[in-house]
Chains A and B, each alone.
Chain A
Amino acid sequence: MGAVNSPEVTRTRPALTPADLLELYRLMALCRTLESACAELNPRWFPAEGEEATIVGSCYGLRPDDVVAPHYRGPFIIYLMRGADLARLFGQALGKSIGYARGRAVPFTGPVKVGVTPWVAGDLGTSLSVALGVALSFWYDRQMRRSPHSPPLDGTHPADERAVVCTFGDGTANRGDFHEALNMAALWKLPIVYVCQNNRYAISLESRKYLPVATVADRAAGYGIPGATVDGNDILAVHDAVQAAVARARRGEGPSLIDAQTYRLRGHWAEDAADYRPEAEAASWRERDPLPRFERRLVEIGAAAADNLVRLREQVAAEVDAALDRARQAPDAGPADLGLDEVLAWRG
C-alpha cells in the first residue's frame, strides 16, 4: 500500500478521443494566455505558466456534480472549464465590480455555483480540510441513502459517485491541515483525490529545504492510501493518474495522493524576477515546457496538424482579448459592492 506509482492509481487509462486531445490543448493554451494576461493586469498575480499540464490534466473529465478545491496558483482555467465567464474572472483579478466577489475577496477566486470551493483569504492549507468536508458530504449522502429510515437528501444524482479533486502546492503540503485532512479522508475512505501541484518552490525556497522526501506521494504510505508520482508536464500522464484515482474514489475505495512534478516558469508573483533560482535549472525546465511538448505530441500522433493548433491559439488569443476589453471597461468595485449588510447570511 502507498508505494509510489502504485498500480491502483495508474492502472486505468480513460479513453480520450481526438476531440478531447484538441480540447486539452485548447485549455492549456487558454490557461497560458490568461495567466500571462493576469500577470500583466495585476503585478501581484501569481502566474501559473509552466504548470498548465498539471492544472488542466487534473480537472479535465470531471462530472459537473463533482467538486474541485483548487490550488491558488492557476485556478482561473478550472473555473472556466466548469462554466465561469472569462471577463468576470479578469474583473476579479482587477478588483472590478463585475468580479465574482465584487472586489471583496482575493483576486484568484471565482464563482461558487460551478462546483469549486471558494478562495476567500490566502491561508494556504485550509482548503485541504474544506475539500475533505465536501467529500464527507458526498459520503454522508450515500450513508443516508442507504439507511432505510432516512429520506434521500439529493435524489437527482447517484451521490455515491461524486468525487472531489483537491490541488495544492508542494509548500502547502507541510501545513498541518495536509496531515489532518489526509488522515481523516483515509480513515473514512472519502471520495477525494489530493493532487500536489509540485513546482519545486515555495516563494524563494527550493523544496529540498522543506520536503525531506523525494516526492510528496511518499507520504501516502503513512495514511495507508495509494500514492503516485507523475510527470506534471505531461498532460496525459497527469490526466490518467487523476482519472484512475477519481474512479477509485467513485467506487468508494477512498482517497489517493498524487504528486505531479512540474515547474513555475516565472517568479512567485508577476514582478518577481526569481533570481534565487539557478538559470541552468530554469532553462532545463523551459525545454520541458508542457505546451510545445504536447503540441509536438499531437502532431506526431496525427491528432492535429500544426496549422490547426495555430488556429486554435489565435482563437484563444481573440477570446482573451475580448474578455480583457470587457473587464477593463467595467467599473471598479464601488460603494454598492461593499455590502456591509452582507457579512451575515439572512435566514431564508
Chain B
Amino acid sequence: MARLTYVEAIVAAIAAEMRRDPRVFLLGQDIGPLGGVMRGARGLWEEFGDARVLDTPISESAMVGAAVGAALMGKRPIVEISFGEFLPLAMSQLVLQAANIHYMTAGAASVPMVVRTRIGDGPYRGHPQCYEAWLAHVPGLKAVLPATPYDARGLMTAAIRDPNPVIVFEHMQLYHLLRDEVPDEDYEVPIGQAVVAREGRDATVVATGWMVHRALAAADALTAEGMSVEVVDLRSLAPLDIPTVVASVRKTSRLVIAHESWKVGGIGAEVSASIAEEAVDALDAPIVRVGAPHAPVPSARSLRDLFLPDEESIRKAVRKVAEF
C-alpha cells in the first residue's frame, strides 16, 4: 500500500501496464521530458523512453486516428488529449471510427485503445467544459470517470486491458486534492460498475467525479438534520450501472442526481429516465437533478463558484425530495 494522489494512481496504473505489456504505448502532448500536463505522465518517459512515450504535434484528430490504426494492428495505445475540451477535434475518429469498427466489421476487428483526458473545474481553472455525456451517448465506446485514487488506478488498468475504446475522464479538481491507500499490486475496478460510496436510508444521491465528494460532504452535513443519505458513485458512464441505482432507490425511495456538467442532456437525464422506466413504483418523490446551468462554464473564480453545483445545492435537493 502507498498513499497516492489521484494523478499518481493513474500514472502508476499506466506504468504497471507498460511494464507488463510491451504493446502499450502513449501518444500525447508534453508527456515526454515535461512529465505531462499537471504531472499527468510523470516519470513515464524516463522509464520507457522515446519509442513508448511519444510527444505529438497539436493534432488531436490524427492522434486519435493513429491510435485507432495502431490498435487495429494489435497494439494497446493510450492517447492523451490534454483537455476534454479538445475531444470535439477528434470526434469523427472517436465516434465514427473507434466506436464503430468492431460492430461494423462484424467482429473481425476491434480497437483496444484508451483516450485519457482532463475535465472539470480545476486548480488552474482552464479548460473546464465537460463533454462526457456526448461520448456516453455513442454505442461502441466505454467511458469512465473515477472519483478516488483507488478507482482511478483500477479503472485505468481495466481501461488499458479492455478490448474496446475506453475514454478515461480524469477530473482536474481531484488530481492533487487527496491521497488514498492504493495497493502496490495490480488490480482492476470493473468498467460498468457503480459503487455505493456511503450507505443511507432516506435518500439516494447519484453523483460523478468531483460531485461525489460534494455529495459525501452534503450527506455528512445532513446527518445533523436527522437524514441518512446514501451516495452512489457511478464511476462508469458507459456502460451505465442502472441496477445499482435501482437497488439503492428501492431502499431509499428518493433520488437526487448530481453532476458538474450541464443538467440538460447530462448523464443524469439518462439515469433519471432509466429509474422512471424501471423503478418509478419505488419513488416517494419526484427525481431531482443537480447540474450546471445551461451556459458555457465561466472563467472567473467568482463566477465559477456561482455557476457550479456545490454542497449546498445538493443539500437543498435532498431536502426537497425528503420533504415532498
The interface-forming segment of A14-22, A121-129, A282-290, A299-307 is A121-129
Nearest chain A CB to B22's CB is how many angstroms away?
A: 5
Tell whether B200 is near chain A: CB-to-CB under 8 Å.
no
Tell whether A347 is near chain B: CB-to-CB under 8 Å.
yes
Determine if B25 and A140 form an interchain contact, defined as CB atoms under 8 angstroms apart: yes
Determine if B57 and A180 form an interchain contact, defined as CB atoms under 8 angstroms apart: yes
Tell whether B93 is near chain A: CB-to-CB under 8 Å.
yes
Interface set, chain A 218-251, CB cutoff 8 A to B:
none
Look across to chain A and name the residue whose beta carbon is closest to the beta carbon of B65: A129
CA distance A130 to B67 in the complex (A): 7
Tell whether B142 is near chain A: CB-to-CB under 8 Å.
yes
Nearest chain B CB to A48's CB is how many angstroms away?
A: 22
Interface centre among B62, B109, B139 (most CB of A within 10 A): B62
Tell whether B100 is near chain A: CB-to-CB under 8 Å.
yes
Residues of B within 8 A of A111 (CB): 108
> Which of A135, A137, A138, A184 is in CB contact (< 8 Å) with B56?
A184
Tell whether B197 is near chain A: CB-to-CB under 8 Å.
no
With A133-B70, A177-B61, A180-B61 known as contacts, the answer to whether A126 contacts B102 (CB < 8 A) is no
Determine if B72 and A126 form an interchain contact, defined as CB atoms under 8 angstroms apart: no
Determine if B68 and A130 form an interchain contact, defined as CB atoms under 8 angstroms apart: yes
Residues of B within 8 A of A179 (CB): 59
Determine if B102 and A112 form an interchain contact, defined as CB atoms under 8 angstroms apart: no
Nearest chain B CB to A185's CB is how many angstroms away?
A: 9
Nearest chain B CB to A157's CB is how many angstroms away?
A: 12
Look across to chain B and name the residue whose beta carbon is closest to the beta carbon of A122: B96
Determine if A134 and B102 form an interchain contact, defined as CB atoms under 8 angstroms apart: no
Tell whether A334 is near chain B: CB-to-CB under 8 Å.
no
CA distance A75 to B66 in the complex (A): 21
Tell whether B313 is near chain A: CB-to-CB under 8 Å.
no
Write the B160-186 contact mask toward A (1 if CB under 8 angstroms, else 0). Answer: 011110000000000000000000000
Nearest chain B CB to A16's CB is how many angstroms away?
A: 30
Tell whether B106 is near chain A: CB-to-CB under 8 Å.
yes
With A137-B69, A348-B163 known as contacts, the answer to whether A105 contacts B104 (CB < 8 A) is yes
Nearest chain B CB to A25's CB is how many angstroms away?
A: 31
Residues of B within 8 A of A113 (CB): 108
Determine if B105 and A105 form an interchain contact, defined as CB atoms under 8 angstroms apart: yes
The interface-forming segment of A147-155, A208-216, A324-332 is A147-155
Determine if A345 and B97 form an interchain contact, defined as CB atoms under 8 angstroms apart: no
Tell whether B92 is near chain A: CB-to-CB under 8 Å.
yes
Look across to chain B and name the residue whose beta carbon is closest to the beta carbon of A342: B107
CA distance A135 to B72 in the complex (A): 11
CA distance A344 to B101 in the complex (A): 10
Tell whether A143 is near chain B: CB-to-CB under 8 Å.
yes
The interface-forming segment of A50-58, A96-104, A259-267 is A96-104
Determine if B163 and A129 form an interchain contact, defined as CB atoms under 8 angstroms apart: no
Write the B80-98 contact mask toward A (1 if CB under 8 angstroms, else 0). Answer: 0000000000001100110
Determine if B106 and A344 form an interchain contact, defined as CB atoms under 8 angstroms apart: no
Tell whether B40 is near chain A: CB-to-CB under 8 Å.
no
> Which of A67, A123, A137 is in CB contact (< 8 Å) with B92?
A123
Tell whether A257 is near chain B: CB-to-CB under 8 Å.
no
Nearest chain B CB to A219's CB is how many angstroms away?
A: 15
Nearest chain B CB to A8's CB is how many angstroms away?
A: 24
> Which of B66, B106, B162 is in CB contact (< 8 Å) with A133?
B66
Residues of A within 8 A of B97 (CB): 120-121, 123, 126, 130
Tell whether B73 is near chain A: CB-to-CB under 8 Å.
yes
CA distance A317 to B69 in the complex (A): 36
With A140-B25, A339-B106 known as contacts, the answer to whether A133 contacts B68 (CB < 8 A) is yes
Residues of B within 8 A of A81 (CB): none
Interface centre among A128, A136, A144 (most CB of B within 10 A): A136
With A120-B100, A140-B25, A150-B22 known as contacts, the answer to whether A104 contacts B106 (CB < 8 A) is yes
Interface size class of A (residues with CB under 8 A): 35 or more
CA distance A134 to B97 in the complex (A): 14
Residues of B within 8 A of A150 (CB): 22
Residues of A within 8 A of B68 (CB): 129-130, 133
Tell whether B301 is near chain A: CB-to-CB under 8 Å.
no
Interface set, chain A 57-98, CB cutoff 8 A to B:
67, 69
Determine if A184 and B72 form an interchain contact, defined as CB atoms under 8 angstroms apart: no
Look across to chain B and name the residue whose beta carbon is closest to the beta carbon of A137: B73
Determine if A118 and B101 form an interchain contact, defined as CB atoms under 8 angstroms apart: yes
Tell whether B75 is near chain A: CB-to-CB under 8 Å.
yes
Residues of A within 8 A of B9 (CB): none
Determine if A140 and B75 form an interchain contact, defined as CB atoms under 8 angstroms apart: yes
Tell whether B140 is near chain A: CB-to-CB under 8 Å.
yes
Look across to chain B and name the residue whose beta carbon is closest to the beta carbon of A178: B62
Determine if A345 and B65 form an interchain contact, defined as CB atoms under 8 angstroms apart: no
Nearest chain B CB to A164's CB is how many angstroms away?
A: 9
Determine if A129 and B104 form an interchain contact, defined as CB atoms under 8 angstroms apart: no
Interface centre among A129, A143, A151 (most CB of B within 10 A): A129
Determine if A140 and B51 form an interchain contact, defined as CB atoms under 8 angstroms apart: yes
CA distance A123 to B67 in the complex (A): 17
Tell whether B134 is near chain A: CB-to-CB under 8 Å.
no
Residues of A within 8 A of B77 (CB): 133
CA distance A263 to B75 in the complex (A): 38
Residues of B within 8 A of A177 (CB): 61-62, 65
Q: List 10 A-B contacts (CB under 8 A).
A: A67-B73, A123-B92, A133-B73, A144-B51, A180-B61, A181-B66, A184-B62, A337-B106, A343-B139, A345-B107
Other CB < 8 Å A-B pairs besides A130-B69, A177-B62, A181-B62, 19 of them?
A: A101-B105, A118-B105, A118-B109, A120-B104, A128-B62, A129-B68, A130-B65, A130-B66, A131-B69, A133-B71, A133-B72, A134-B72, A136-B70, A137-B74, A143-B51, A147-B51, A181-B65, A343-B140, A347-B162
List 8 A-B pairs, minimum CB-CB distance, nearest first: A133-B69, A129-B65, A180-B62, A133-B66, A143-B51, A180-B59, A120-B104, A137-B73
Binding site for B on A (CB under 8 A): 67, 69, 100-102, 104-105, 109, 111-113, 117-118, 120-121, 123, 125-126, 128-138, 140, 143-144, 147, 150-151, 153, 176-177, 179-181, 183-184, 187-188, 337, 339, 342-348
